[in-house]
Amino acid sequence: MHSQGGQKQVKSANSLIQYFLLALVVIFYAINGFAFAAFYGAAISLSNTLIFNWYTDKQEALVDADAQKSFRMAINSSVVRALSLILLAIVGLGFLELDPAALCLSMVVGQVGFILDRLRQK
């Protein structure tokens, strides 16, 4: 039980690069009056990370999963993350009419931070 809590703490610490980069972008755009758009883009990026972590935890819990089931789960994860990213971006840009530069930059920076965090874990 102690190791599970340690794993969750390690996972949150492993996202430090992503959190730091997102904070910089949101602060920059907050100074220029586009805080909500930047925060919304950051939230999209963080939701993508949460979905990835959820699928990873689900896959790790299935110790007896065969290669085909693991592959299907990886495909499902990719599809769900891509669709959520696209749909949330469309809502932000279309329905909410947020600033495209602030939303897109914070979303992209969040994804770059996500990738850097994953590379750092290896």
Look at 116 and 13; give whichever has higher pLDDT: 116
What pTM does this model have? 0.74
**95 contact partners, CB below 8 Å, separation of at least 6:** none
Cα separation, 32 vs 51, whole angstroms? 31
Token reading at 82: 């891509």
Would you state the pLDDT for residue 6? 46
In this predicted model, what pLDDT tens digit does every residue of 46-65 receive, in sequence order? Answer: 898 889 888 888 877 776 66
